[in-house]
Amino acid sequence: MVMRAGQSMPPMEFVRLLDEAAGLDGVIAIHSTARGPAAGGCRLWSYPDAASVMADAFRLAEGMSYKNAMAELPFGGGKAVLRRPAGEFDRQALFEAFGKAVQQLEGRYITAEDVGTSVADMEYAGRHTRNVAGRSARPGFAGGDPSPWTALGVFEAMKAAARFRFESALSGMTVAVLGVGSVGGELCRLLAEAGARLMIADIDGPRCDRLSDEFGARIVSVEGIADVEAEVFAPCALGGALDEATVATLRARVVCGAANNQLAALHIAEMLVERGIAYAPDYVVNAGGIINVSAEYLGESAGDVRGRVMRIGPRTYAVLEEAAHTGLSPSIVADRMAERLMLQPAA
């Protein structure tokens, strides 16, 4: 678990979720409500034990506070983390039970889809609470699958990071993408359209095959993707991709991806600085999804979402520029910016 130091925040609040009949087993973590309700998605994953659920919920909820503040959204940070039941289970029953639990918090937590959950799951939850986003889009309003917005934000951030490090566009560069699911796959499409060469890795072989056929991407093993010759490394799977061993052999000069909590430990940020690798902080880069969720909940339009997402690129460049000017890691620079914002009510 990566914990930030020096932050003056109330203790994390955990709300236990348990409904054996529905298969619901998990926790809602509320990290901050200073800017507004705690907002963050609902993750469904196969965790080995309750301690793993709590640890992931802590990291993810904290990260949402930073992400929402940095994106200048009127929300604090929270996260729901659910253990996936073994074997077959009734998704409708599980997520309806989850929606009832969210409703009991009386608007203090706003949920949405995340890893392992879908628009359909949020529709089930929405039968019992209005404090849910990531539902089916309505004509003229934001909503629906947030993955394309997340991918667009990462793409804009990557363009900014490439301009900062190489003073060049992405055309002709090689980008190594780890994780080509809904976000990583859409990012590959944007990169291919921009003229980048792709190297991809994912535990889902058929998915890699499809993207290789569509975009001419070279398939690499998950274990070897960080070692390939590439200008940019894009971690788009689960967190912790950047550990000591990975950074020691990383050839890319830019790290910019969609995954949350990419740094396995805080000191990894300094290792990246020492190696001259420009790291675009994950929560700055991957805010497109929560921007869409926020706009949906607030009744805003897709145009409002696009306007906010397109500000991710300039924000990323500003963080990297300030880091270079001060000698601090981009992670510290971004954290300090976000901490100033998260302790203030949103305008």
Q: Which residues are catalytic?
A: 79
SS3 76: strand
Please state the φ and ψ torsions of residue 78, each to the nearest 5 degrees: -155, 175
Among 306, 262, 267, CA closest to 280: 262
User: Which one-letter amino acid corresponds to residue 310?
Assistant: M
* Token pair in block for residue 311: 């500000």
| Cα 297–Cα 300–Cα 304 angle in degrees, nearest 5 | 125
Spatial distance between the Cα atoms of 168 and 37, rounded to a whole number of angstroms: 40
In 52-108, DSSP assigns E strands to: 76-83
Spatial distance between the Cα atoms of 168 and 270, rounded to a whole number of angstroms: 25
**β-pair partners for 44:** 82
